[in-house]
Structure 1
Amino acid sequence: MGLRHLATGNWTVDPAHSEVGFTARHVMVSKVRGTFREFTARVEIAAPFEDSTVTAEVNLASVDTRNTDRDTHLRSGDFFDTEVFPAMTFRSREVSDTSMTGDLTIKDITRPITFDLEFIGTSEDPWGGFRAGVEASAEINRKDWGLTWNVAVESGGVLVSERIQIHLDVELIQPTG
């Protein structure tokens, strides 16, 4: 079973049961993981399925890496510059059971991105609604979106990797009625 088997119509993301996360290498030897706590998304399953769309918006100031100083730095002009560019957006161009290609915009720079999709399953919930689980992942080069700040480290390499893993764990809700 895949996305194409979901009922047509609008599905929203349940933020209490979903996560927008990322992973970057730190000094080339460890990983820093972070999430964005505030985001919205909408999935429209269409007939035919190939006309389905996904749109999402992430509040960049909601970044959380479990380190206040690092989060403040990520919000600054060195990275997201959230005072000027408060949101990251995604708009799909093509959706299939196994991938989703669209336009990712960060700091007014829009570039194509393809997410690998894994459909987890569906379930009725106790309130009469219907839910579906989807995981998505992609890798980007942050420099492609103007996120270029870095520091060389004495042992070679850099403080923050250019390659960033994006991972989404999403619970979709199809409203009843």
Structure 2
Amino acid sequence: MSNNTNWSIDNAHSEIAFKVKHMMISTVTGHFEDFQATAKTDGDNFNNADFQFTAKTASINTKNEDRDTHLKSDDFFNAEKYPELKFVSKSFDGEKLIGDLTIRDVTKEVVLDADFNGIAVDPYGQTKAGFEISGQLNRKDFNLTWSAVTEAGSIVVSDKVKLVVDVQFIKQS
């Protein structure tokens, strides 16, 4: 008999970041500031847990207002038309997290590396579970197609986007 446990994200101890090479010589890091995530597990066992994640595309922050405005435009996320990106897991074996990622109007299966860092009880008696999730995707697969080339022939924004997600969940029930 399954013992369903619900977990919700601890936003204060979680971070959703992405890294993109800029002009092939430096890396720009950005974050989504407004995000939600849940997990459903069988007891405290996260194997084959159901993970769901959403982020508000308009909450993108790369510490540069002009760049953020560009990222929210139709060249990239089109935050007005597609206000959320979403991930829904299909399987998790303790190492690989596989699921459907939807950005704009495109849904594609992605495989992420997921390290489960274990479960601990904080000083307030809350049970927490921690994960480090990383992966790489091609932004053009999701119609984030804007491209430009410098005079010297360098691509301004790499197609490859690295995801770096540190998540802490709080046990709900």
TM > 0.5 fold call: yes
Given candidates 16, 28, 32, the residue that maps to 2:28 is 32
**Corresponding residue SS for 1:147:** coil
- For 1:4-43, what aligned pairs fall within 5 Å after superposition? 9-43=5-39
Q: In structure 1, how many angstroms separate the alpha carbons of the residues matched to 2:105 and 2:60? A: 18
1:84 aligns with 2:81: yes
Aligned length: 170
Given candidates 68, 71, 78, the residue that maps to 2:68 is 71
Given candidates 141, 147, 154, the residue that maps to 2:144 is 147
**TM-score normalised by structure 1 residue count:** 0.91
Moved more, 47-56 or 30-39: 47-56
Match for 2:27: what amino acid? Answer: K
Q: Deviations over 1:131-156 (max 9, x none)?
A: 11100001000000000001111222
Given candidates 146, 167, 172, the residue that maps to 2:169 is 172
1:46 aligns with 2:42: yes
Q: In structure 1, how many angstroms separate the alpha carbons of the residues matched to 2:49 and 2:64? A: 38
1:35 and 1:89, CA in 2 relative to 1: closer, same or farther beyond 3 A? Answer: same
**Corresponding residue SS for 1:154:** coil
Q: In structure 2, how many angstroms separate the alpha carbons of the residues matched to 1:34 and 1:146? A: 19
- For 1:98-177, what aligned pairs fall within 5 Å after superposition? 98-175=95-172
Deviation at 1:98, TM superposition (A): 0.5
Q: In structure 2, how many angstroms separate the alpha carbons of the residues matched to 1:140 and 1:157? A: 20
Identity %: 39
For the aligned residues, what is the CA RMSD? 1.6
Moved more, 7-16 or 19-28: 7-16
Structure 2: tracts of 5 or more residues without a match: none
Deviation at 1:122, TM superposition (A): 2.2
Structure 1: tracts of 5 or more residues without a match: 1-6
